[in-house]
Structure 1
Amino acid sequence: MLEIDCRGLKCPEPVIRTKKALEEIDEGVVVSIVDNITAKENVSRLASNLNLSYDIEEKEGCFYISINKFKEDRQKCDFASNDDIVIMITNDKLGTGNDELGKVLMKSYLYALTEVSPKPKVMMFLNGGVKLTTEGSEVLENLNKLADAGVEIISCGTCLDFYGLKESLKVGIVGNMYSIVEKMHAAAKVINIG
């Protein structure tokens, strides 16, 4: 049995730590301890999505989520199969509404992306998304981690020119619309974030 103490951790850290613990063991039980309902639901959803059985026990204001991973679950539980995923990011914020919240969400999304498998094959940054790949971006550390993990990072050259940022590119390469279209057409899955 492997116990993971996720009390006090912000989203998505409890899910990431629980998933890593499950990846570390061939067989057995991972107990994830969380201290809020959102984390309880997210970790439970992880187990469900991996087709693993789980039990939840509440004690002293915390939730103890016991996730069972046994030999018969191995065929059902797939952690890493790269399907040539391409992610297209078209804004420096995630979602609409409050810009500050959008920046926090984008930072959290890119951090979570460094922690999951499979990694995308390519990440393309268009329009306001190119601001994330240039000098002064708060997410350069995570983008560099993704690049170091083999993710191809492409920023639209026209977009960089439009914002006057071509000389400020700090991660990845400058691409053009033709290469961007080629990557999208060759992908098994394209995810648009913006």
Structure 2
Amino acid sequence: MKKSVKMRRSIMLTAMYPLKKVREISDMKKFEIDARELDCPKPLLRTKKALSEESFETLVVMVANVPARENVCRFLSHSGYSPQWQEQNGDFIITVNRDGKQTVNTEKSEIAPAFSRESRGGKTVLITDTRIGSEEDELGRLLMKGYIYTLTQLDELPSSLIFMNSGVKLCLKDSANIDDLILLEKKSVEILVCGTCLEFLDVREQLAVGTISNMYEITSKLHDPQGLISLT
């Protein structure tokens, strides 16, 4: 009786909380990762693991949205590969050869080149809102606008600006801060914008500055020994 009860409970839990699995197929020459159901940054992490642990000539990664595509492609580019991608029924198929050669009949990924921290120095700034402080909305927005403008006038610039949560709205086309952020990017300040946040707020198409990023890259930046400044 106890065994039957445990079995029924196990079936109920499985139905309530289905496990998300990564489908992987390997035939020695090709290794495929179906990461379409995985949340950020898991598609990137599975790609990273495959590069270090699996034997293959060609790696194929399937993802379900643009931020995941951009993040995986940019990671592969930073790792010295030449990723290619093509869209298929709303999903994206990313292909890379182990020897770095380009794969035929796919579209070249348009990924911004990585910035070099050594060329900039400075701290990382985390911005998670469109204002500084939480009591007065108008005052908070004025303070944020003044802060970002002042950054453009500093002799020692931050190395990275990271925008998360509603802070990503500062990087949109209609933002009052957009000109200053574009200027900072031209001065080689790395601007990373949370892809999950853009998708959740449904504003990805309005992004006007910065690189769509992921939790793996952002977490690495937040733990950088150069130091972190958090604006809330």
TM tier relative to shorter chain: 0.5 to 0.7
What is the TM-score normalised by the length of structure 1?
Answer: 0.56
> Partners of 1:97 and 1:114 in 2: how far apart?
26
Aligned in 2, Cα 1:83/1:152: closer, same or farther, shift over 3 Å?
closer
Q: Which runs of 5+ in 1 are unaligned?
A: 1-81
State how far apart, in whole Å, the 1-side matches of 2:227 and 2:138 are.
29
CA shift, 1:117, in A, is 2.3
CA gap 1:187/1:133 in 2 versus in 1, 3 angstroms: farther
Q: What secondary structure does 1:109 align onto? A: helix
1:94, 1:102 within 8 Å by CA — same for their partners in 2?
yes
Counterpart secondary structure, 1:117? coil
Q: 1:156 aligns with which of 194, 202, 216?
A: 194
Show the counterpart of 1:121. 159
Specify the code of the residue in structure 1 equivalent to 2:129: N
The alpha-carbon deviation at position 173 of structure 1 amounts to 0.7
In the alignment of these two chains, the number of paired residues is 113
The answer to whether 1:101 aligns with 2:139 is yes
Structure ranking higher on relative contact order (CA contacts 8 Å, 6+ apart): 1
Identity %: 39
Structural RMSD (CA): 1.1
**Contact kept in structure 2, 1:84 and 1:187, CA below 8 Å:** no
1:27-106 equivalences in 2 (<5 Å): 83-106=121-144
Alignment TM-score, normalising by the size of structure 2: 0.47
Deviations 1:138-164, CA, capped at 9 Å, x for gaps: 000000110010000010001111111
Give the greater-gyration-radius structure (CA): 2
Residues 116-139 of structure 1: per-residue CA shift (max 9 Å, x gap): 121011100000100000121000
Runs of 4+ displaced beyond 2 Å: none
* Cα contact 2:162–2:191 (8 A) shared by 1: yes
Any unmatched runs of 5+ in structure 2? 1-119
